[in-house]
Amino acid sequence: MALLSVEDLEVRFFTRRATIHAVNGISFDLDAGETLGVVGESGCGKSVSSLAMLGILPKTGRITRGEVRFGDRDLVKLKDADLREIRGRDIGMVFQDPMTSLNPVLKVGDQVTEVLRKHLDMDKDGARREAVAVLDRVGIPHASERVYDYPHQFSGGMRQRVMIAMAIACRPKILIADEPTTALDVTIQAQILDLLKGLVKEEGMGLILITHDLGVVAGICERTHVMYAGRFVETAPTNELFDRPRHPYTLGLLRSVPRLDASQKEKLIPIPGAPPDLSILREGCSFAPRCPYATDESRERTPMLEGIDGPMHRVACWNPVPDAEVATVASSSLEASGS
């Protein structure tokens, strides 16, 4: 049985002006020790889904449909008090911006111990020792002294390590990392990703890595879901997704990312247009207005995720990118890496 199983999750925001259809029915499973990538542009609903799973949506947001199965419980139906027992203990979360995600007026040590004391019933000294151990584990030098420091005395990368320490302090079964490296320098990004990779391996945690950066998924995720306008449009083992992207949006994403190994001749091809207005829910594929392969059918009927090239690779598209074209992308990248 999967560790976490999300079934047809739907999230809406009810603002005074409009209803925003932020997440429109996503499903996925996460196994222990597995690393899952969720990729998409900002505003596609990837962060919202993770907040929804933990029950910490902003006031205007609500889960309107679906289940989040964790063990034998459905997190959507849990009372907040029960959900709080799971947050931070069984499911840890790391947020994007370590500059703003730590409380500036609390000592770093206190921010780690409070989660230990809440969930593991530790006394003050025990929690303090454990906090030092966790901070040490995530690679913070002189952890036993630095617990007395405040966030502003840490660099960005170190703060993100603190965030990770807080998230893994109770040895959760699942870690959700929402753009954990976006706000960091490139060299630091690699360090943080390595740290996450190591933790998953040692602890056997399931990791959900949310990012807009295809480079990040490539290095670390086994499976990747591509999200667009609140839906998964393609899901596949990461290698396969990169080699044979079948959804036009995935292809577009891959083509619009500059590659170190690309030849001079190869041009970046941006995706034309902008993501749809999610306050209006239309029939049909939401990518259709920007899609070169769109047909009348695309505009009229919403495609479902269906297996293509075997059950592991699924795509929600009426006209998946033809093999021939996929092949040119794949071969060009092969060529480039060969030269």
Binding site for other proteins (CB under 8 A): 13, 15, 17-18, 20, 22, 42-43, 45, 47-48, 51, 54, 56-58, 60-61, 83-89, 92-93, 95-97, 100-107, 114-115, 118-119, 150, 152-153, 163, 166-167, 178, 277-279
- 103 vs 239, beta carbon nearer other proteins: 103
**Sign of the torsion angle spanned by Cα atoms 62, 39, 66, 32:** negative
- 119 vs 223, beta carbon nearer other proteins: 119
Q: Which position has the token pair 């910490």?
A: 56
**In the complex, minimum distance from the CB of residue 312 to other proteins, in angstroms, rounded to a whole number:** 30
CA distances from 146 to 111, 137, 158, 171, 324 (A): 12, 13, 11, 21, 56
- 11 vs 316, beta carbon nearer other proteins: 11
- 37 vs 88, beta carbon nearer other proteins: 88
Buried b (16+ CB within 10 A) or exposed e, 14-41: eeeeeebbbbbbbebbbbeebbbbbbbe
- 212 vs 314, beta carbon nearer other proteins: 212
Interatomic CA distance for residues 29 and 230, integer angstroms? 17
The bridge status of strand 61-70 relative to strand 91-94 is unpaired
**In the complex, minimum distance from the CB of residue 272 to other proteins, in angstroms, rounded to a whole number:** 19
Q: How many other C-beta atoms can be found within 10 angstroms of the C-beta atom of residue 125?
A: 9
**In the complex, minimum distance from the CB of residue 58 to other proteins, in angstroms, rounded to a whole number:** 5
- 83 vs 241, beta carbon nearer other proteins: 83
**In the complex, minimum distance from the CB of residue 198 to other proteins, in angstroms, rounded to a whole number:** 22
**In the complex, minimum distance from the CB of residue 243 to other proteins, in angstroms, rounded to a whole number:** 31
**In the complex, minimum distance from the CB of residue 59 to other proteins, in angstroms, rounded to a whole number:** 8
Q: Is residue 149 within 8 Å of 135, Cβ to Cβ?
A: no
Beta-bridge partners for 38: 210, 225
